[in-house]
Amino acid sequence: MPRKRKSNLSHSSTRARTAKVARSQESEEQTQTRQMLDSKRHATQRASETLEQSQARRALDAERHASRRASDSFTQTETRRALDAERHTSQRASGTYTQTQARQTLDAERHAFQRDSETFTQTQARQTLDAERHASQRAAETVEQTQARRVLDAERHGQLIAAETDEDSQRRRLLNAERQAERRRVKWFCETYYSESEVMDNILKALELLNQKVNALECKQEKMLQEKYAAGSSALITGKNLEKKLEKSKESKCALKIEAESAEISKSSDDIKKVLRIQ
């Protein structure tokens, strides 16, 4: 029976610190040998443990992994995920058919347990991440990989449908109907939105053309008003000049008339003087 681990992950024993120092100083061959021995020992321990011990061990492992992942940096997280993906790929490639079925069953149970305990926000976030990951994987796969994936999906769906109960069938059909209705609603909304947006674009274009015509008419009217104002101003200036000229001509005529009258008066006065002298 394996030794019970401490639940407090913040404390580390002297033995753990010593083992950590020893691991940092070992070579690559020693690391591989140690990991192989550890995997064999862990497999032997897990094969001999009970269901309660397995659940307790998994709970402690989950707490330890969560604590480590919470303190990881972005680079450490990416490195860990890459190593996990390589290890999982290697394990799945070397696993037998029975081991694969057992692993898939355990994964399905674990996923079902996680999905039952998650909130609505967590469900939406998980579905979004799954959709993005699936889209990325499907975009990078070849034609043969796509065909193989579709065949495997069809077989898996067939097995699930054959093994489900009447309640499961009704629930699946109801979910499929809701999903299809949601897709149709989204499709109708997109088509309606795009059609309405096209109509609005046409209306905006027509309004823009109308505004351009109105602006052109306003510019034309303003230009005509400016021309009329300029013509009126020139006419006014011309009229003022004519008035000035008339005034000058009148003044000159008056001056000439006055001169003529004064000349006549002086002439008549001279005549009167002559008559008086003769008398």
Q: What is the pLDDT of residues 155-200, one digit of tens each?
A: 988 888 888 888 888 888 888 888 888 888 777 776 666 566 666 6
Q: Where are the alpha helices (DSSP H) in the chain?
A: 14-25, 28-48, 51-71, 74-94, 97-117, 120-140, 143-163, 166-278
Q: Does 37 score more than 80 pLDDT? A: yes
**C-alpha dihedral sign at 267, 272, 277, 279:** positive
What pTM was computed for the model? 0.38
Q: How many CA atoms lie within 13 A of 245 on its CB side?
A: 6
Query: Is there a contact between 59 and 5 (Cβ–Cβ < 8 Å)?
Result: no
Note the pLDDT of residue 251.
Answer: 61
Residue 258 CA to residue 264 CA, distance in Å, equals 10
Which residues, other chains included, contact 21 with Cβ-Cβ below 8 Å and sequence gap of 6+? none
Q: Does 275 score more than 50 pLDDT? A: no
Cβ–Cβ contacts within 10 Å for residue 216, how many? 10
**C-alpha dihedral sign at 182, 188, 191, 197:** negative
- Provide the token pair at 112: 């079902």
Mean pLDDT, rounded, for 17-36? 85
Percent of the chain with pLDDT over 70: 70
**Residue-wise pLDDT tens digits, 50-92:** 888 888 988 998 898 889 888 989 888 899 989 988 888 888 8
Q: Does 223 score more than 50 pLDDT? A: yes
Q: Does 26 score more than 70 pLDDT? A: yes
Cα Rg, the chain, nearest whole Å: 52
Residue 114 CA to residue 122 CA, distance in Å, equals 10
Note the pLDDT of residue 104.
Answer: 86
Residue 108 CA to residue 114 CA, distance in Å, equals 10
Mean pLDDT, rounded, for 259-274? 58
- Range with lowest mean pLDDT among 37-41, 61-65, 121-125, 200-204: 200-204
Query: Is there a contact between 24 and 31 (Cβ–Cβ < 8 Å)?
Result: no
Q: Does 103 score more than 60 pLDDT? A: yes
Phi, psi of 118 (to 5 degrees): -90, 160
Note the pLDDT of residue 259.
Answer: 65
Residue 31 CA to residue 22 CA, distance in Å, equals 10
Residue 20 CA to residue 65 CA, distance in Å, equals 17
Residue 14 CA to residue 86 CA, distance in Å, equals 32
10 Å CB burial of residue 50 (0-12, 13-18, 19+) is: exposed
